Amino acid sequence: RFLIKGGLAGAAVYVAYDQGLLGSGTEGAAALKKAQETLPPAIQEWTNYLGWEVRAAQLPPTPKFDFSVSNYWNKGVHSVMSALSVAPTRACEYTVEGWKYMKDLVK
């Protein structure tokens, strides 16, 4: 079980890397555009293969994303780095508060 899960996780990371999702923001945006262009024909091909009657009018339109992937990625990186830079100070503050709480309990 562990090997199967590890293999699936590794394959998922490899596919994400291969498609450019782990690269820069422009590579991620290009991968998203490629997926938007590829997905409707693939769905149509599978429905034809399975024998389902699906007309193009029945398929919902692909969602239009009107945001910059790179801006959100950069914002997330800044948030994580900010939290990591404050972590030692917060850990010291929480430790001091914990010791005060313990001293008050002992009294």
Question: What digits encode the pLDDT tens for the residues 41-98?
Answer: 777 777 777 776 655 556 667 677 777 777 788 888 899 999 999 999 999 999 999 9
Any idea where the domains of the chain sit in the sequence?
Answer: 1-57, 67-106
**10 SS3 class:** helix
Q: What is the C-alpha to C-alpha distance for residues 92 and 102, in angstroms, rounded to an integer?
A: 15
The confidence score (pLDDT) of residue 98 equals: 94
Burial 34-45 (b: 16+ CB within 10 A, else e): eeeeeeeeeeee
pTM score, whole prediction: 0.33
DSSP string, the chain: -HHHHHHHHHHHHHHHHHTTTTS-HHHHHHHHHHHHHHHHHHHHHHHHHHT----TTTSPPPPPP-S-HHHHHHHHHHHHHHHHHHHHHHHHHHHHHHHHHHHHHH-
